Structure formats: C-alpha cells, structure tokens
Chains A and B, each alone.
Chain A
Amino acid sequence: MRILREVLLLLALYSGVGLGVYGVWRLWPASKAEKKGNSQEEASLLDRAEGKLRELLRREAVADANDEAAVKAGLRKVQDRLSPAFGALSYPIESYVIDSSTVNAVCLPGNIILVYSGLLRRLESPEELAAILAHEIAHAIHRDPMQALKRELGLAALFAMAGGHGDGVTGRLMHRLVSSGFSRQQELAADEEALRVLVASDIDPKALADALRRIRGEKDEDPAVLQYISTHPGFDERVQLSEQASANWPGKARPLDLDWKQFRSQFRVLR
C-alpha cells in the first residue's frame, strides 16, 4: 500500500506543479497578453485562411470572367488610376467583369473584386465604374469579406473551408457574400474610404452618387436591383454622403481615358 501512496503523492506533486504554473500564467499581466495572443493567433489564422481562399477563388470563381482584352484593359486602367490612393494591401487587388444579368459588385476574400456586367450596363461613365471599384476596394482595405465570413461561419469553419479542395467551397462562399453582403456600418465606412480614394485620384466623389442612382434606376421593384440594395444597405444615406463630399471638394476632376461605349460593347450576351 505504501507504493500506492507514493504513486498518489507523485501524481499530486506533478498536478500541483502543473496547476501552479497554469495559475501563474493565468494571473500574469497576462490577461492582456493572452488577449493579445488570441487576437494575434486569430489574425494569423484569418491571414492564412484568406490566402487559401484567394487561391481557390482565383482558380474557380474567376474562371468565367470576361476575358476580352478590351474589358481587362479598361478595368485595369480604372484600377491603376485608383491604386496610388489606396496604397499597399495584403494581396494585390484583382478585379474581373463577370458577364451576368446580376446587378451587383462584390469584394471577395483575397482582394478579388467581381463586377457583374448587369451593373456595368447601368453605368454611364468610367468615373462611375471607378466609384464602384473604389467602394469595393475599400471593403478589401477594411478586410470586410473575411470579417463577414468569420462572423457568419466562425473562424474554425472558415479555416476548415479554406483547407478544402474547392469542392463547392467557392460556390458557398460566393453565395454567402453575394446574398448577405455587409452591414450598414461597413458600407458607410467603405463609402467614406471610397470617397477619399476618389478625391485623391482626381475623380469627382459625386460619381458614387451617380452610380448608385443609375443602379437603382426608376423601378425600385426590379428584383435584380433589390438584391444590390439589400446587400448594400443605407442607400439614400450613401447618396447623400457622396453629394456632400462633392460639394466640399475644391478640386478639379481629371477625366478617365476610357471609351465607355466601346468598353461596354465587349460584354457577352447576358445569362
């Protein structure tokens, strides 16, 4: 029985040391350090998940993108005009036009931006396209797509999803982001950033209000438009914000060198 007593004593000794060390670790100025560690760990997980999702999306989601040279060049031209204003990002912005009747534009994880031709057909100038792109780029700057997915799916599920091999992952992600969109606060914050980018790029910030008005059109009941409005809340407030920024803008607009009619004529027959 003495051996049993010694075994128990040994176990108690190790347990005591373990609990003691754990207690010290918990009580260290560490509640702060732990939180910092948690957020660092979470940020690191998000970074890795975003990297993997970017690879998946580039492989699958943009496979149907319009590959007309004129479309790509036009989009590139608008993006290049904006890029000095938004600085360096975790991943370079890649924007694509998707031929579809969908009236929407979406920022995906990994700074991939999809603009549907259904939306582009409603716009009347490259500046309006710049405003839409600036808005989506602002979502990328704020990392809204990853935050939205984390909120909806949870970090663990998101990471598991990113670790998949593409079997339906991109479809589910796209559906989540296109159907749920971002919060009103995120939209307004993205607009504020977009307006700053537009001003810094010598584009009248009113282009955003013009784009939004054209997207809405006259018929609010159009289901395609309703989708855009539902995923981009705060529509009237956004228009107002843009017009206000334009009124306060003392600068002079520098037109974008892009033949808009020729650019729009490159879209394929809508599905």
Chain B
Amino acid sequence: MSETIALPQPHELSQREKDDALAAYLMNFAAWGAGLPIPSLNLIAAWVYFLINRRKNRFVAFHCFQACTSQIPTTVINIVGVGTFIDYVLILNRDLPRFFWPYLGFAVVTNLMYLASSIYACVLAAKGRVHYFLVFGRWAYARYYGPHAIALEGGTAHRNLPPAGF
C-alpha cells in the first residue's frame, strides 16, 4: 500500500471548512440556478471556485477538485446536445435530427444521476464526510492525500526518520 496522508475526521474539521466543501458542489448548479442552457458554465464556475480554494485547505481542495472534474462527462454530453440544437435549428435552420430525441433522454438521465450524486456528496461534505465519485473520487484522493500530495509537500526523501533499529 502506498504511503498516504491521513484523511481528516469530521470532528477535526471546522464549520467553515465543511461549508467551503459543500459550496464546491453547489457550484455545479450555478447555470441551472440561473436557468441558463449553457452547459459549460457549471464547469467554469466549479473551476473558478477550485482555483480560489485549492491552497486554502486540503479537505476543501479535495472536494473542489472532485466537484470540478466529476462533471466533465455530463458537461461534454450537454455541450454535444446544445451544440447540435444550435447547429441545426439556429444556424442551419433545419429540423433536429432523429437521433436528437433519444440523445436528449440520455442527457436528461445522466444529468439527473449526476445531480443526485452531487446532492449526496454535498450533504456528506456538510457533515465533514467524504463521498468518492467513480474515477474522479480516486483521482482527487490521489492528488490530495496520496503519494502525489506527499511528493508535493516535500516527499519521503526529506522526512526525518528515527535511527535505524528504533
């Protein structure tokens, strides 16, 4: 097992840290909240929030990174859908292609799944707990608590170790 940094426990976190972590997931609904059909706006909002908070606190940075990266798939799906709509209806002035309707259904279902996951992660973050998204949770953990984080902090080569035999 690789060396890792210990995860903070809920009682070790301040309310401010929990609120900041919670807010990272709320950024995912920025465009939805504004009622705008701009699929990349959520990603931009989450990314900006991540840039602001990435050096503040490891726990908050972890949640910001996970909230930001985990929405990449749904953002890509939404961009394709909105792009197709704009291309066909607004630019080419043509009827929507036949595949658009099942694709729209696919986009709606994946967005709802992501919305449910985000709300769940949001609630857990508010309690100082951690929810790992598939792939992106592992990626975020590796980045903030795994060997990568240890290397960034100075790595094992610079750690003071007790004399041999102790």
Binds B, one of A14-22, A110-118, A134-142, A253-261: A14-22
B16 lies within 8 A of chain A by Cβ: no
Chain A residue numbers with a CB within 8 Å of B110 are 14, 17
Q: Using a CB-CB cutoff of 8 Å, which residues 64-123 of chain B contact chain A?
A: 73, 95, 98, 101-102, 105-106, 109-110, 113
CB within 8 Å for A34 and B98 given contacts A17-B106, A21-B105? yes
List chain A residues, Cβ under 8 A from B138: 2-3, 6
B98 touches A38 (CB 8 A): yes
The yes or no answer to A89 lying at the interface (CB within 8 A) is no
Query: A-B pairs with CB below 8 Å: how many?
Result: 38
- A–B Cβ pairs within 8 angstroms, 9 of them: A2-B138, A3-B135, A10-B135, A14-B110, A22-B102, A25-B102, A25-B105, A37-B98, A40-B95
Asked whether A9 is an interface residue with its Cβ less than 8 Å from the other chain, the reply is yes
Which residues of A, 1-54, contact B by the 8 Å Cβ criterion?
A: 2-3, 6-7, 9-10, 13-14, 17-18, 20-22, 24-25, 34, 37-38, 40-41, 44
Q: Which residues of B contact A34 (CB under 8 A)?
A: 98
Chain B residues whose C-beta falls within 8 Å of the C-beta of A44 in the assembled complex = 95
Count B interface residues, CB 8 Å: 14
The answer on a CB contact under 8 Å between A21 and B95 is: no
User: Taking CB as reference atom, which chain A residue is nearest B132?
Assistant: A6
* Shortest beta-carbon distance from A245 to chain B in Å: 41
| A21 and B106 alpha carbons, distance in the complex (Å) | 6
B135 touches A41 (CB 8 A): no
Binding site for A on B (CB under 8 A): 73, 95, 98, 101-102, 105-106, 109-110, 113, 134-135, 138-139
A202 to B54, CA, bound (A): 87
Closest to B108 in A: A21
> 9 extra interchain contacts, Cβ-Cβ under 8 A, other than A3-B139, A25-B101?
A3-B135, A13-B134, A17-B106, A17-B109, A17-B110, A21-B105, A21-B109, A24-B105, A25-B102
A79 to B113, CA, bound (A): 64
Given contacts A14-B73, A41-B95, A44-B95, contact A21 B102 (CB under 8 A): yes
A38 to B135, CA, bound (A): 40
Residue ID in chain A nearest B74 by CB atoms = A14
Which residues from chain B contact A3 at a C-beta distance below 8 Å? 135, 138-139
